[in-house]
């Protein structure tokens, strides 16, 4: 989150991370230079580049994978990429396969005429500690019929899990209605679609549609207001210097999956400390 001109701006990715671990959310704000990225995020960014080039009419769909691979090569120059569960020799074929999968399996379902990489900021109408609470972010694709987001994932998503818990769809759908980008209203609800490319050489895709309405918007505003309130209550003056509760009771708290490991649990716990002894 960031504070500017009496407003506090929250991004969905920060809110999701902060709900998982308050310290992770604080480190995002205070020590961005220590953030690491991982292979899975890098592959996703590369595939996004190809998709964006097609949707903005910079290239033909059949050439999308070339843009994705060029982006992958650029991203690989960063030697701070953590390898989680992929083999680097498969990165280029995977990026090629996932981009082609989007062209063949997702693109035909995407309505034409929308906005690509749409940056937004929207007020929630809620005040927190004297600040206006706003959401901000970038929509992969917004059309009058709803918002789309492109995901690369190790496996297909669970529709029930996304419908009951997903934060991004609630924020982006509410923002698209409040900003007049969609022709529906929050009372009737609108559809938010995930275009998912499964990380495999088979080219599997999935289009997942979750329904979002006023109840989801109200709940995500409540979630954001309570989290932001907790950070603001614990800051010293203008600075977030006080460490927040460090929640390591979930699998994303690990050297592989937490971008802040090196300045948090990693200061205490090394690989050798997690080795099982003789049973």
| Residues engaged in binding ligand SF4 (CB under 6 A) | 21, 23-24, 27, 246-248, 253, 258, 260-261, 264-265
For ligand SF4, which is the closer residue by CB, 121 or 243?
Answer: 243
For ligand SF4, which is the closer residue by CB, 171 or 264?
Answer: 264
Q: Report in angstroms how near the CB of residue 268 gets to ligand SF4 at its nearest.
A: 10
Q: Report in angstroms how near the CB of residue 270 gets to ligand SF4 at its nearest.
A: 13
Q: Report in angstroms how near the CB of residue 262 gets to ligand SF4 at its nearest.
A: 9
Q: Which two tokens stand for residue 245?
A: 């509760």
Determine phi and psi for 142, rounding to 5 degrees: -130, 135
Q: Which two tokens stand for residue 57?
A: 């009419």
- Cα gap 85→243, rounded to integer Å: 30
For ligand SF4, which is the closer residue by CB, 150 or 261?
Answer: 261
Q: In this structure, is the dihedral angle defined by the CA atoms of residues 195, 109, 51 and 134, taken in order, positive or negative?
A: negative
Q: Whose CB is nearest to ligand SF4? A: 264
Q: Where does the chain show beta strands of DSSP type E?
A: 2-4, 7-11, 37-38, 81-82, 115-128, 131-143, 146-153, 190-198, 205-212
Q: Report in angstroms how near the CB of residue 260 gets to ligand SF4 at its nearest.
A: 4
Please report, for the chain, how many H helices and E strands are present, in that order: 9, 9
For ligand SF4, which is the closer residue by CB, 123 or 245?
Answer: 245
Provide the 3-class DSSP secondary structure of residue 95.
helix
Q: Report in angstroms how near the CB of residue 238 gets to ligand SF4 at its nearest.
A: 22
For ligand SF4, which is the closer residue by CB, 23 or 39?
Answer: 23
Q: Report in angstroms how near the CB of residue 189 gets to ligand SF4 at its nearest.
A: 33
For ligand SF4, which is the closer residue by CB, 141 or 260?
Answer: 260
- Cα gap 6→130, rounded to integer Å: 8
């Amino acid at each position: 989150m960031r504070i500017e001109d009496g407003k506090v701006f929250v991004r969905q990715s920060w809110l999701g991370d902060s709900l998982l671990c308050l310290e992770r959310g604080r480190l995002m704000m205070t020590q961005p230079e220590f953030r690491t990225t991982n292979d899975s995020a890098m592959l996703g960014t590369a595939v996004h580049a190809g998709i964006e080039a097609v949707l903005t009419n910079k290239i033909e769909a059949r050439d999308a994978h070339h843009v994705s691979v060029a982006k992958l090569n650029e991203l690989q120059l960063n030697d701070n990429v953590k390898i989680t569960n992929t083999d680097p020799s498969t990165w280029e074929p995977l990026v090629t396969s996932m981009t082609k999968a989007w062209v063949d399996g997702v693109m035909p379902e995407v309505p034409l005429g929308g906005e690509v990489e749409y940056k937004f900021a929207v007020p929630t109408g809620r005040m927190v500690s004297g600040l206006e609470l706003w959401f901000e972010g970038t929509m992969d694709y917004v059309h009058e019929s709803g918002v789309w987001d492109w995901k690369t994932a190790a496996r297909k998503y669970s529709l029930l899990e996304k419908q009951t818990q997903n934060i991004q769809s609630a924020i982006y759908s509410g923002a698209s209605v409040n900003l007049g980008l969609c022709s529906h209203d929050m009372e009737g609800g609108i559809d938010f679609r995930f275009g998912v490319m499964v990380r495999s050489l088979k080219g599997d895709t999935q289009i997942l549609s979750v329904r979002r309405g006023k109840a989801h918007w109200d709940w995500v505003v409540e979630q954001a207001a309570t989290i932001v309130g907790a950070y603001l209550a614990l800051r010293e003056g203008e600075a977030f210097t006080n460490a927040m509760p460090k929640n390591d009771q979930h699998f994303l708290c690990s050297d592989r999956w937490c971008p802040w490991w090196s300045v948090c649990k990693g200061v205490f716990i090394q690989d050798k400390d997690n080795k099982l002894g003789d049973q």
